[in-house]
Amino acid sequence: MEKQTINTEEKPSHRHKKVFVEGPISAAFVGDSIAKHSTKMDIGAHSIFLGQVRKDVIESQEVVAIDYSAYAEMAEEKFHEIREDTFAKYPLTCMHIYHSLGKVNAGEICLFVFTSAIHRREAIDACNEVVERIKQEVPVWGKEIFDNDQHRWKENK
Amino acid sequence: MTIKIVAFGKIADILPQQEWETDGLETAGMLRGQLEAKYPNLKGQRYLIAVDKKIANDDSPLEEHSVVALLPPFSGG
């Protein structure tokens, strides 16, 4: 008989939070995330960044969607590092990061960064810094899909 | 010494496969040289090399079972 193992060990405190979500991030999900903070009475300010897929026109071709892919293992480590650094730098109450993988249509949300603090300045500055670092440091790629099925690999400015 | 190579984004489009194993390479720079000799389309492309999920330079050593990733410019968010 196979020996049954019961895992009673707690995961380490530096737990990796799940960042990637398949497809677009819905407005309802964002709303629910905000609602979940109503019990945290020390929060005085939230800052939220939402990245939306833009219908760019490139050489008369319209972007209809972006197909996101990632080096997931490295990206998760980077997200974790960004979280830890940001918590060390700013007095935040909490932080949530969600990024889409797969196809996100123009007009839909692909990135949701949510920071909360006692006062606005920390929440806003931390949110901005997290967004900038995600764009520069996390191995995620967006393939812009055009209306004629052609594609082009996007590059962050 | 066997290493695993994984390519992403535009670089994966240029190469015939996204993931493969190879051996006989000691540094990240040697891999870059070998790939660019074999796949001329790779020359002039901008990409970083990560060894075991850390951004490497051409002198970075490769070790048995290293996972070497070819990373074109990021475009998340």
Which tokens go with A83?
């979280």
Search chain A and give the residue with CA nearest B77: A111
For A86-118, the pLDDT digits (tens) are 999 999 999 999 999 999 999 999 999 999 999
**With an 8 Å Cβ cutoff, are A134 and B8 in contact?**
no
For residue A111, the model assigns a pLDDT of: 98
Residue A1 pLDDT grade (very low, low, confident, very high; cuts 50, 70, 90):
very low
Tell me: pLDDT of A3 over 50: no
**With an 8 Å Cβ cutoff, are A74 and B69 in contact?**
yes
Q: Give bridge partners of residue A128 from the DSSP assignment.
A: none
For residue A156, the model assigns a pLDDT of: 82
For B12-29, the pLDDT digits (tens) are 999 999 999 999 999 999
Which sign, positive or negative, has the C-alpha torsion A77, A83, A87, A88? positive
On whether any CB of chain B is under 8 Å from the CB of A139, the answer is yes
On whether any CB of chain B is under 8 Å from the CB of A24, the answer is no
Residues 68-97 of A with CB under 8 A from B: 68-71, 73-75, 77
Look at chain B and report how many structural domains it folds into: 1
For residue A157, the model assigns a pLDDT of: 78
Question: Which residue in the set B6, B69, B74 is minimally distant from A136, CB to CB?
Answer: B74
Q: Which residues, including other chains, have CB under 8 Å from residue B55's CB and lie 6 or more apart?
A: B48, B49
Task: Indicate whether B77 belongs to any domain.
Answer: no
For residue A16, the model assigns a pLDDT of: 60
Tell me: pLDDT of A83 over 70: yes
Task: Indicate whether B30 belongs to any domain.
Answer: yes
Provide, as residue numbers in chain A, all residues whose Cβ is less than 8 Å from the Cβ of B73.
155-156
Residue B34 lies in domain:
2-71
When pLDDT is averaged across residues A73-96 and rounded to a whole number, the result is 97
Task: Indicate whether B76 belongs to any domain.
Answer: no
Burial of A98 (0-12, 13-18, 19+ CB in 10 A): buried
Q: Which residues, including other chains, have CB under 8 Å from residue A90's CB and lie 6 or more apart?
A: A115, A117, A122, A125, A126, A129
Which tokens go with A23?
């497809």
The CATH topology of domain A20-34+41-153 is: Aldehyde Oxidoreductase; domain 3 (3.90.1170)
Q: How many Å lie between the alpha carbon of B67 and the closest alpha carbon of chain A?
A: 11
Residue B1 pLDDT grade (very low, low, confident, very high; cuts 50, 70, 90):
confident
Instruction: Report the CATH number that the domain containing residue B24 is assigned in CATH.
Output: 3.10.20.30
B45/A154 Cα distance (integer angstroms): 14
A112/A101 Cα distance (integer angstroms): 13
Search chain B and give the residue with CA nearest A136: B74
Provide, as residue numbers in chain A, all residues whose Cβ is less than 8 Å from the Cβ of B76.
68, 70, 75, 99, 111, 134-135, 138-142, 156
Q: How many Å lie between the alpha carbon of B52 and the closest alpha carbon of chain A?
A: 8
User: Which ipTM did the prediction report?
Assistant: 0.94
Higher pLDDT: A2 or B35? It is B35
Domain residue extents for chain A: 20-34+41-153
Tell me: pLDDT of A81 over 80: yes
On whether any CB of chain A is under 8 Å from the CB of B29, the answer is no
Tell me: pLDDT of A5 over 80: no
Residue B69 pLDDT grade (very low, low, confident, very high; cuts 50, 70, 90):
very high
| SS3 of residue B31 by DSSP | helix
Task: Indicate whether B55 belongs to any domain.
Answer: yes
Question: Which residue in the set B9, B73, B77 is minimally distant from A51, CB to CB?
Answer: B77
Residue A11 pLDDT grade (very low, low, confident, very high; cuts 50, 70, 90):
very low
When pLDDT is averaged across residues A1-24 and rounded to a whole number, the result is 61
The CB density around residue A76, as the number of other CB atoms within 10 Å, is: 18
Residue A15 pLDDT grade (very low, low, confident, very high; cuts 50, 70, 90):
low
